[in-house]
Amino acid sequence: MSDIPLHSLGRKGKTRAGYVPLNDAQDTDMPTDVLRAAAARSVNLTAKGKGKQRERYTDADEFDEEATLLGNGDRTLEQVEEGNVGEQSKQLSRRSSGQRPSSLHKTQDKSRSIPFRPVDKLQSKFPPNLVRNQKYNIFTFFPIVIYEQFKFFFNLYFLLVALSQFVPALKIGFIVTYVAPLAFVLCVTMGKEAYDDYKRNLRDREANSQKYLILVPSSDSGPHTRSVPSSSLKVGDLVVLEKNQRVPADMVLLRTSDASGTCFIRTDQLDGETDWKLRVAVTATQKLVNDRELLDLDAEVYADAPIKDIHTFIGTFTIHTPRANSVDDVPMVQVPTVEPLSAENVLWSNTVLAAGSAVGFIVYTGSETRAVMNTSHPETKVGLLDLEINRLAKILCAVTFALSFGLVALNGFRGQWYIYVFRFLILFSSIIPISLRVNLDMGKTVYAQQIMNDSEIPGTIVRTSTLPEELGRIEYLLSDKTGTLTQNEMEMKKLHMGTMSYGFDSMDEVAHQLASAFGADQAHARSNSVATGAQLAMRGRRDMSSRLRDVVLSLALCHNVTPVTNDDGTLTYQASSPDEVAIVKWTESVGLTLVFRDRTRMELQTPTGARLTYDILDIFPFTSESKRMGIVVRDTHTGEVLFLQKGADVVMARIVQRNDWLEEETGNMAREGLRTLVVARKRLTPQQYAAFKTAHHAASIRLDGRGEAMISVVAEHLEHDLELLGLTGVEDKLQDEVKGTLELLRNGGIKIWMLTGDKIETARCIAISTKLVARNQYIHEVAKLKTSDQVRDELEFLQSKLDCCLVIDGESLQLCLNLYKNEFIEITTKLSAVVACRCSPTQKADVARLIRHHTKKRVCCIGDGGNDVSMIQAADVGVGIVGKEGKQASLAADFSVIQFSHLTKLLMWHGRNSYRRSAKLAQFVIHRGLIISIMQAVFSAIFYFAPIALYQGWLMVGYATIYTMAPVFSLVLDRDVNEDLALIYPELYKELTKGRALSFKTFFQWLMISVYQGAAIMIMSLLLFETEFLNIVSISFTALVINELIMVALEITTWHIYMVISEVVTLFFYVISIAFLPEYFDLDFVVSTRFAWKVAVIVAVSALPLYVIKLIRSRVAPAASSKLL
C-alpha cells in the first residue's frame, strides 16, 4: 500500500467540479485491471448500499466523455489527458452522485451535483434567492391595469362615447360630462392597485434584506463567517442558522448544536401543522470537530430536480477524499463514501429553526424552493355581480343600436344617415350610465365600512373592497383544519382501563392512586421484578392502583418526546406530534414527569421524588402505514426489559390479548370526537430479547425487501399477546362556536369541504367533533389508491351513496384528479361533506379551482397559515384568519377575520345585504338611464326623427347627479329583514344563491317599466303641450324627477332616516334650482296651478299602476322574507 503515490488535499489540478484526475504516470506501480476491478467493486458496493436506488447506476460505456455533472449539457469538464484509471474514477464520482446518465444531455433536467465551495459560474446557473409577491413592475403597471379595466365591455363603451365627443359632428352637450366620470373611476382604481402593490413591495424588501451568516474560507484564525442578506444567498453556500430564524432557502442539514445531530423545525407556514418536526443532520458532517472543517471537505451533494412535494427528497452526500491526519496516513474507508439523503435531512425554506443552531448547505433557491413552488400568483378577482352587469350592458348596447337604427330607418335613411346613427347612439348613451359604475363602487365602500365597523365581529378587515357582494352567493366553503376549525391545543380527556374509566374531572383521583402505588409498591416492585406465571395469573385480581401505575408508566415511556429546558428554567416538550406532548403533559400533571431524554436513555421522576432510569434499546416510530409506535426499554435498576406499544385501535385489536371492551369503548370515544390510542405492553425475558435482536439485525442487513423483513421480525417476536393496559382519549380543542357555525352554514345551503395536511385519523375525529358529519352518517374512507380500476370502483360506490361523507388522502386525490377529473368533481360536489387529508398547498388550490370551473358556483376558502395562501387566492372569496400561525393568510385574503365563527355574520348578514342592495341599486340606475332615453326616442320620433337632444347641458348633468343620485344611492341602506332573523333563518341565504335578485327576468321587468314610464311621461306631456316648446321641457322634466323619487320610495323595504332626508332634500334642491335655470323653466308658468295639475296627472299615470301591481304581488306572491315579519 505504501507504494501508491498519494495526492495532497489541495485544489490544485482538480477539475471544476473538484475531482482529482489521475495521470498515466501515477499508476505505473499498479496494474490497470486491478484498479479497474477495485473501482468496479466499489461502485457495486455503493449501489448495493443504496438499496432501492440501485437502478440509478448503469454501465460505464453509456457515459459520454463530454457529459456534465450538472445535467445541464452546456458545461463540459476540462479536457484532461487521462488513462483508463482516470476515466474509471471520473465515472465513479459521477455514479456516486447518483445521476441517471440518460438525463445528462437534457438541458431541461434540473437535477444538480454541487461540490463544496462551488465556482461562481456554477452558482449563477440557479435562480436568485428573491422573495417576490408583487403583481406589477414599473413598466407593466400601466398596461396591465388599463387592460384589466377596459376588458370590460362596460368601460370600453364609455371610453368610445367619451372619445366621440372630440369629433365636432358628433358633439352633444358638455365634453366634461362624458370624460370626468370615466377618468374618476380609472384614477380611483389605479390608485388603489398602486398602493396595494407598493405595500407588497415593502413586505418583499423586508424579507429579502434579512441577514444570514454564511461560512467562508479565511486565511487566518479569525472569524470564518460573513453576514449577507437573504437575497444574496446562492446554491452551495453554507448557512449558519440560529434559534427562531427563518430558513431562507431549501438546504441539506449538515450539522446541529445537539450532539445527536438532530434539530426541531416549525413548518406551520409550509404545511399548516403547528407540531414541531424532527430533522437529522448528515452523519459524516455531524462527526466533524467544528463548523470550520466543513470548508476543507472535498465533498459534493447531489439533489434531484426541484418538485412541489414537501414530503419527498432524493439526494446523496458524497465524500471523495476523506480528511487524513498526516501525509503518510491512509484512510481505510471506501472512497468515495456515499450517504443517501431523504426529506428528514432537509430544511425547507420558510420553516423556522425551533431550537439550537444548525449549519445547512443550500441546494435550491428562489423560484425552485418548495415554498415558492407551492404558492400561486394572485389573479385579479372580479365579482359575479360585475360580470352579470357587464352582460346586461351588452344587451343595453344592442337596445341602443336598435333604437338608433330604427329611428334613422323610419326617417328613410335621408342625408348623412350614418352620422345621425352615431348622434342617436350618443343621445341614448345614458341607457348605459357611467354613474352605474360610480354608484356600485361607492356602494362597495359603504358595505366594507359596515363590515369593519360591526362590533360583533371585531378585528374584521376588508382587503379587497370589490367583493362584498360575493359573500352573499357562496355555495362551497373550503376550510383548513388546524388553527381554523381547531385551536391545535391537545388535552388528554379520558383514560379507560376496562373495568375503570377516568374522565377529565377525576384526574386528581388518578394522581392520588399513583402516589400511593409508587409510595407503597416501590420496594415490592423492585424486589419482584421478573414476572412468574403465578404473578401473571394474579393480574385480574391485582389492586387498582398498581394497574394504574402500569398504564401511566407505559404512557410516560412510550413516545418520541424530548424535554427541553428553556433559558428561564422552565421545561417544554418537543415532539413531532401534539398528541404525544398532550399525553406526556398529562403524566406530568398526575405526578410522573419526564425529566431527561436522549437517544439511548430516559429519566422519569415519580410522585415521591425518586428517579426511574430506563435504557432505550429499540424504537419503532409511528408511520401512517403501521398506525402504531413501539419502544423496547430496560429498567437500569432491575434489568427488566419491556416492550411497550401504543397505536390506533384498528391495528392494536389484533395484537393485544382477547378482551370484551376495547371495540365498544373506542367507538364511544370516537363519537365524542376524541383521538384514541390503545396502550399495551409485554415483558421480555433476556433470552426472548436476545432472539429478537439477532433476527432483527439479520433482517436489517438484507439487501432485498429489508423493510418488510424487519416488520415481520417485530411482528413475530414482539407484536402478539400484548397485555392491554388502557385506552386514552385526547381532545383537539375546537375554535369557539365552530359546531353552531358549521350547522348554520349548512342550513344556508353551503356545502363544506375540509382540506388539511393532517393524518386521516385526526381529520376524521375533527369531522365528527365539529359536526361536519351528521350523527350516524356513513363515513367512506379512500386511501392508498394505486390503480385506475380502484379509482373507478370507489367512484361507482360514491355515485350510489351520495349521502355519505368522503374522507380521502392526498395521494388518492391526486390519482383521481389525474385519471377521472370530471367524474370525480361531478360526484364529490354532490356529497354533503368531503374531507381531504395530507393535502399539499397546491392541491388545495387545485381543488378550489376545479370546483369553481366545474360547478360555476361561488367558492369561499378560509385558512390561517402560509400553506393556505394558494387556496385563498384561488377562491372567488378568500377569508384569512389571524391565528397562531402568523398573518400570512390574513394578508393574502380578501377578508380577514379573527375566528371562524365570525363567518356566519359575514355571509348571512353582510354578504346577503351587500348582494341584495347592489342588485337593486344596479337595476334602478339602469332604469334611471333607460327612462330618459325612451323619452328622447319618443320626442325624436314625433319631431321628424331629428337627432336633437330633449334635455341639454345642466339638465342632463343635474339628472344624473343632484336630482336623483342621493335617493337612488340611499338604496344601499335598505334591508328586508333584521339581523336576528337573518341569522335565525339561514334558509333566506339559500334563496339568494340562485341569483334571482339580478337576473334576465328582473332586468326585462325593469326594461318594461322604463319603456312604459318613459312613453307615458312623454306622450302625456305632449298631449298637455301648450303653445311653447319650453313648457314641454319643464313639464316632462319635473314629472320625470318626481316619478323617480316616488319609484325609490316604492322600492324601499325598511325606511332609514337617511332615505327620508335624501328624498326631502333632493326635492328641495330641485325646486330651488328651477329659479336659477331660466333658460329651461318659465317661472311664471311653473308657479301656476296649470303646471301643478298637469304634472300631478302625468306622475299619477306613470307611477300609480306600478304601486297597484306591487300591492297585488305582495298579497298574491309575497317574498320569503316578508312571511317572517
**Residues involved in catalysis:** 480
| CB-based contacts of 776, cutoff 8 Å, min separation 6 | none
- Secondary structure, 3-state, 591-620: CCEEEEECCCEEEEECCCCCEEEEEEEEEE
| Whole-Å CA distances, 373 to 27, 128, 307, 376, 817 | 49, 14, 8, 8, 19
Q: Is the peptide bond before 336 cis (omega within 30 degrees of 0)?
A: yes
Is residue 580 a contact partner of residue 559, using CB atoms and an 8 Å limit?
yes
- Work out the angle at residue 399's Cα, subtended by the Cα atoms of residues 397 and 401, and round it to the nearest 5 degrees: 70
Euclidean distance between CA atoms 27 and 39, whole angstroms: 14
With CA atoms as reference, report the closest residue to 301 among 277, 284, 326, 280: 284
Give the C-alpha distances (Å, rounded to integers) separating 867 from 236, 803, 1074.
27, 30, 62
Dist CA 195 CA 132 (whole Å): 16
Instruction: Find the helix packing angle between 578-589 and 507-520, rounded to 10°.
Output: 60
Three-state SS at 962: coil
Q: Are strands 262-266 and 461-462 parallel, antiparallel or unpaired?
A: unpaired
By CB atoms closer than 10 A (0-12, 13-18, 19+), residue 511 is: middle
Residue 42, all three cell numbers? 466499489
Signed CA dihedral, 958, 959, 963, 965: sign only: negative
Amino acid at 481: K
d(CA 676, CA 873): 36
If DSSP codes are grouped into helix, strand and coil, which group holds residue 301? strand
DSSP 140-166: THHHHHHHHHHTSHHHHHHHHHHHHTT
- Rounded Cα distance between 660 and 46, Å, is 52
User: Rounded distance, CA 24 to CA 89, Å?
Assistant: 13
Query: What is the rounded CA–CA span in Å between residue 88 and residue 771?
Result: 65
How many other β-carbons are positioned within 10 Å of the β-carbon of residue 736?
Answer: 12
Query: Shortest CA distance to 900 belongs to which of 764, 729, 766?
Result: 766
Per-position b or e across 24-63, b if 16+ CB within 10 A of its CB: eebbeeeeeeebeeebeebbeebbeebeeeeebbeebeeb
Give the span between the Cα atoms of 213 and 233, in whole angstroms.
Answer: 10
* Spatial contact of 684 and 641, defined as CB atoms under 8 Å apart: yes
Which backbone phi and psi does 664 adopt, to 5 degrees? -65, -45
d(CA 678, CA 652): 7
Cβ atoms of 713 and 467 within 8 Å: the answer is no
Cα 1097 from chain centroid (whole Å) = 62
Q: Please give the DSSP secondary-structure letter assigned to residue 907.
A: I
Q: What is the CA radius of gyration of the chain?
A: 39
Nearest C-alpha neighbor of 933 from the set 397, 203, 467: 397
- DSSP assignments along 924-943, one per residue: HHHHHHHHHHHHHHHHHHHT
